[in-house]
Amino acid sequence: MEFKIKKFILKSSNSNTYLIQSEVDEKRCYLIDAGNGIEAINALQPNQNIDAVFLTHAHYDHIADIHYLLKRFPDCLIYCSLETKVALANSKLNLSFYHGTPIEYSGENIVVLNDFDTVTLYPNQKIVAIATPGHHIGCLSFQYQQFCFTGDSLIPEIAVVTKLKTGNKEAALNSIAKLKIHLDLNTIIMPGHGEQINYGNLNWDFFFN
């Protein structure tokens, strides 16, 4: 394997931030979400940078360290859906206001991704955005090599939370069905909370019963 993925947990909410590093290009690194961006950044070598962060959605526990990230790496790109871009700029929409630490950001380094858009991370290695609304209308999952980072759109053995603003139970089930069809048996699912699981070991029926 020419790359490695490290997980950092924001203990207050048990949300996962993932750091992607590659032996092909050791300098360029990437984050999936930024809830615990501080520990992820502290794990870097002195010559390493975070070139971009891919946001699964804009809820507070997945963006908590976004300002710290951008202070350390001002040229870092933010890839997300249009709805996440809007929520990122509004502390009530991204729920940070209700945690007493309001976060609002609307810089020009935000790149909007649509369903099945791709971004090249390393030579011959692309990450694919998959629209998976339901938990939030702007949720994206990201497929990279044999991994799929699902944020809060799919967490093993936990029903998708749809009671927050723009949440939709029917859309959530449709998104899980979409992932089930699109992904293959070799996929390792990397959720926004909890532990990773192989596609074949996931109880897909749990979500539809």
Count CB-CB contacts under 10 A for residue 107.
12
The pLDDT of residue 2 is 86
Task: Return the H-helix or E-strand segment holding 128.
Answer: strand 125-131
Q: CB neighbours of 156 closer than 8 A, spacing ≥ 6?
A: 189, 191, 194, 195, 197, 202, 203
Residue 59 falls in which region: left (phi positive, over 0), alpha (psi -120 to 50) or beta: beta
Radius of gyration of the chain (CA): 16
Q: Where are the domains of the chain?
A: 3-207
Mention every residue, 6+ apart, whose C-beta is less than 8 A from residue 40: 6, 8, 17, 19, 31, 34, 50
Query: What CATH class does 3-207 carry?
Result: alpha beta
What does each of the 209 residues of the chain score in pLDDT, given as a tens digit?
A: 588 999 999 999 999 999 999 988 999 999 999 999 999 999 999 999 999 999 999 999 999 999 999 999 999 999 999 999 999 999 999 999 999 999 999 999 999 999 999 999 999 999 999 999 999 999 999 999 999 999 999 999 999 999 999 999 999 999 999 999 999 999 999 999 999 999 999 999 999 97
Question: How many whole angstroms separate alpha carbon 10 and alpha carbon 17?
Answer: 8
Taking the C-alpha atoms of residue 16 and residue 193, their distance in angstroms, rounded to an integer, is: 6
CA atoms within 13 A on the CB side of 93: 16
Q: Which amino acid is at 62?
A: H
User: What's residue 58's pLDDT?
Assistant: 97
The whole-number pLDDT of residue 38 equals: 98
For position 1, what pLDDT does the model report? 56
pTM: 0.98
Q: Minimal CA–CA distance to 196: which of 128, 150, 127?
A: 150
